[in-house]
Amino acid sequence: MRTPFLCFALSLSSCFLLPGAELFAQFGGNNGGGGGFQNFGGIIIDGEGVLGTTREKRISKTALRKLQEEFSKEQLNASVIEESEARTLSLKQLDAAVKQALEAGEEIPASLRYLAGLQRIDFIVVDQANNDMLIVGPAEGFAPGPNGQLVGLSSGRPPLQLDDLVVALRATLGGQPEMGVSIDPTDENMGNLQNYIRRNSNATTTSVAQRRYQMMGKILANQVISIWGVPEDSHFALALAEADLRMKKIALGTEPSGVRGVRSHLSLLIPQGNSLQRWWFVPSYESIGTNDSRSVFEIKGQRAQLMAQEEIADASGQRRDADFTRKTTEKFAQLFSEKFDELANANTAFAKLQGLYDLSLVAALVKSERPFGNDTTGIATLLNDERLPLESYPVPKFVKSAATYRKSSRGMLLGLIGGVTIRMNQVINNTEVQPRLYSERFQPNTVTKNWWWNSGGSATPQETPRR
């Protein structure tokens, strides 16, 4: 009696902690006016640039509440902490507020760095009368969560970040047609893997099969992280890489999804020969609502979905699309896409990805609608990398390959390829006229130079954070 083969997949695992909960004490360190609080927890990058994840830190509710209260008292005004279903930000006045802080030699306050607690973008208003663009969405106060990264006090979701908005604006207005990340094995290692498989494909015992799969992970070695369209040391780039990595870990069953109904791809697998699974994120929005004058854009949709494609590799390691995509590969992508809103609520990496798509959509509409006139004077500070340098993070370069498997009756599954692409042209061209949309509802009730206010009420006075 022959021992069944094991189904095999390549796990992405890894060492060196990026800023976590202890960073609360470091808020206020200066990095080119950036403020110094690097909002990443649960991510590690070693000295060679190998990206991995860590488990959420254990902290008591009492200790966490005390940490959050201290942060709020030190860094935020009561007006920022107040929840709002429609907080409105003026890009022109946001630029002016950043410029004022820089010229005064002050750190950019938390309320600016985290866009007044904005959680997502539901409306974008082209304010031609003031050569401005307004972005509108729900907002709340924020403070460090268990891993130290800032999250909403009620939702637990990370607020949108000024750094990410700046990256999206600079990339899009600078002519970048696409932004993204990909994690791929090298051709050489793929070729070596194919040769090993051909020499070691006979039936054997379970223990020998397991050793073979572990050897396959070693042969495939580090997979290469490729970043394009954005600075590779930016928060934006690291957030893209983390979302891709988290998705792959869920696919392999090495990290739980946290959402009922979203199982690992390995648990869905019915083996049918050797192939590589490729999953990648793309934008997913409903038709954008707008009025006849294109002064308001209503944004709906889950922001991202997962696409699937099977790949095969030849003896030299060159990959190409397979003529088939197995049902389990498509099924995992379908489940992930259908539950993506729930996944984003359960995992901050996917919530950040939603935010990156929203901010990229803002940048695309700035380019197409020209709210600041024939130039970009209204956001000159945001676009000036000398005046406003980005926060710099360790550059993710590699992800380790390792073996994970389950017993099965036949065959094996090889590898996980994928990434994230952000190309917004198709999204902004998919519009639907809705005459009920009026830009006036988002204007402040009084003349103001404040950079944000809660729509439907008077403009909210802005204060310098308490020290």
Q: pLDDT 10s per residue in the chain (467 long)?
A: 333 323 333 333 222 334 443 333 333 333 334 444 455 677 899 999 999 988 777 788 899 889 898 998 899 999 999 999 999 999 999 999 999 999 999 999 999 999 999 999 999 999 999 999 999 999 999 999 888 889 999 999 999 999 999 999 999 999 999 999 999 888 898 888 878 877 887 767 778 877 887 888 888 889 999 999 999 999 999 999 999 999 988 887 788 888 987 876 666 555 544 556 778 899 999 999 999 999 999 999 999 999 887 655 555 545 555 544 556 677 888 899 999 999 999 999 999 999 999 999 999 999 999 999 888 999 999 999 999 999 999 999 999 886 666 555 444 444 556 689 999 999 999 999 998 888 778 877 666 679 999 986 333 334 333 33
Q: What are phi and psi of 134, to 5 degrees?
A: -110, 140
CB burial readout 286-302, b (16+ within 10 A) else e: eebbbbeeebbbbbebb
Neighbours of 324 (CB within 10 A): 12
Q: Which residue has the tokens 């006016």?
A: 33
Instruction: Give the per-residue pLDDT at 100.
Output: 97
Q: What is the pLDDT of residue 217?
A: 80
Give the DSSP H/E element, type plus range, for residue 190: helix 187-199
CB 245, CB 183: distance < 8 Å: yes
SS3 category, 407: strand
Task: Please report, for residues 53, 146, 148, 461, the alpha-carbon distance to residue 64 in angstroms, rounded to integers and kept in the order given.
Answer: 21, 7, 10, 29
**pLDDT, tens digit (0-9, with 9 covering 90-100), for 144-178:** 988 888 999 999 999 999 999 999 999 999 999 99
Asked if 298 contacts 437 with a C-beta cutoff of 8 angstroms, the reply is yes
User: How many alpha carbons fall within 13 Å on the CB side of residue 449?
Assistant: 5
- Which tokens hold the place of 405? 């498997």
pLDDT of residue 445: 60
Place of tokens 């950043």: 98
For 430-463, how does the pLDDT look when each residue is reduced to its tens digit (9 = 90+)?
A: 999 998 888 778 877 666 679 999 986 333 334 3
CA–CA distance, 238 with 227 (Å, rounded to integer): 9
pTM score of the predicted model? 0.85
Q: Which of 173, 452, 455, 414 is nearest to 317 (CA)?
A: 414
* Strand ranges (E), 188-295: 223-228, 276-284, 288-290
User: From CA 39, how far away is CA 145, in angstroms rounded?
Assistant: 10
Q: Residue ranges of the domains in the chain?
A: 6-454
